[in-house]
Structure 1
Amino acid sequence: MVRYAEPGAVEWVESGGGPLIAVPETVLPFWAGADGDETASDYDRACEIDGFVGLLPVGDCAALVLGDEPASTAFLPDHGTFVRWGAADSEDELLAGVPTALATAAWEDEVHWTVPGPVVLFDAAWPGTDSTGTDHVRVVLDPGRYAVRAAQVQPGPETWLGLVQLRRL
């Protein structure tokens, strides 16, 4: 079993207060973040996502917005899941609750997301061209179509987490 809480085993991404977004690497230059000449920036569009997840067009692809709240988020490749830190006394405690959370989650309706390959998760306020210079994580995904579903789960009395699971279609 992988022990995720070992130093350097999990990379957490944090936001300055808004949503996180996973943008395909091929279209990062098209994400303007909070910058832009339009009346509604890309960041504004991301903030309008209602619920735990949503898709926004970026270039000739779509980006996955992790909505609801700006929780610290990590990607666990063994589970194909973004884990969002709601509450826990420690990283060990939070990550130990992931298997139970996945098994007991009451999933929201799923969306279908097509990606050309790896994506970068970062604060939606940043322009895509600056995303790798800030808090971010590169998520290696095979090109193709994914079902994306989300849930909020309480696997322990003092542990709450969000799940955004990707399943290859």
Structure 2
Amino acid sequence: MVRYAEPGAVEWVESGGGPLIAVPETVLPFWTGADGGDAASDYDRACEVDGHVGLLPVGDRTALVLGDEPASTAYLAAHGSFVRWCAANSEEEALAGVAAALDTADWEPEVSWHVPGPVLLFDAAWPGAACDRADHVRVALDPGRYAVRAAEVRPGPETWLNVVQLRRLADR
């Protein structure tokens, strides 16, 4: 993980140029990343996601793909959101407008994501079994269903972010 400011303040994940993926810890061994031999790999499936977010089956669960931009990404628990730093002069500038941006965002249609608990966010090219050696962040989610929505926001003249917000839904 990358840190731009104080250690432990905000942890950012970067990719080698492709999408990031949030895989439930319970199914990490089933994500093979770019290892696929002659067949299409899990990474290839993640690259096919069109737009800011998509869901892919992994084992008996579903992973969340953060597509579109290979931007540095952090999870801000206070906002229940992944923040993708596309353009800003500093981390402080990137984070300063998040709260207002979430209130005024023009959201894309949301998807429903069921998670069994914590997920790991990492470069989709890495196999899940090896993500402990890769740039990753553990996101402590409570088990249940979440509404996931994404938006591109520009909270400042030189600041551009993609945000992916998770909102816990009532159990049925």
Shift of 1:161: 0.4
1:53 matches 2:53: yes
Q: Pairwise mapping of residues 90-169 of structure 1 onto structure 2 (< 5 A)?
A: 90-169=90-169
Paired residues of 1:5 and 1:95 also in contact (CA < 8 A): no
Q: Which amino acid aligns with 1:160?
A: W
Paired residues of 1:152 and 1:162 also in contact (CA < 8 A): yes
Structure 2 residue runs of 5 or longer lacking an equivalent are none
Residue aligning to 1:66? 66
Shift of 1:7: 3.3
Paired residues of 2:121 and 2:136 also in contact (CA < 8 A): yes
TM-score (norm 1): 0.96
Shift of 1:5: 5.3
Tell me the alpha carbon deviations over residues 43-93 of structure 1, each in whole angstroms, 9 at most, x when there is no partner.
000000000000000000000000001000000000000000011010001
Q: Which amino acid aligns with 1:64?
A: L
1:41 matches 2:50: no
Tell me the alpha carbon deviations over residues 81-132 of structure 1, each in whole angstroms, 9 at most, x when there is no partner.
0000011010001100101111110000000000000000000000000011
* Structure 2 SS opposite 1:93: helix
* Structure 2 SS opposite 1:78: helix
Residue aligning to 1:21? 21
Structure 1 residue runs of 5 or longer lacking an equivalent are none
Q: Which amino acid aligns with 1:102?
A: L
Shift of 1:36: 2.0
Shift of 1:38: 5.2
Percent identical residues = 79
Tell me the alpha carbon deviations over residues 18-59 of structure 1, each in whole angstroms, 9 at most, x when there is no partner.
000000000000000000245110000000000000000000
CA distance in 1 between counterparts of 2:73 and 2:30 reads 23
Shift of 1:16: 0.2
Q: Which amino acid aligns with 2:54?
A: G
Root-mean-square deviation over aligned CA pairs: 1.2
Provide runs of 4+ in structure 1 moved above 2 Å.
4-7
TM-score (norm 2): 0.94
CA distance in 1 between counterparts of 2:22 and 2:122 reads 7
CA distance in 1 between counterparts of 2:71 and 2:60 reads 28
Paired residues of 2:69 and 2:86 also in contact (CA < 8 A): no
CA distance in 1 between counterparts of 2:70 and 2:60 reads 26
CA distance in 2 between counterparts of 1:78 and 1:132 reads 25
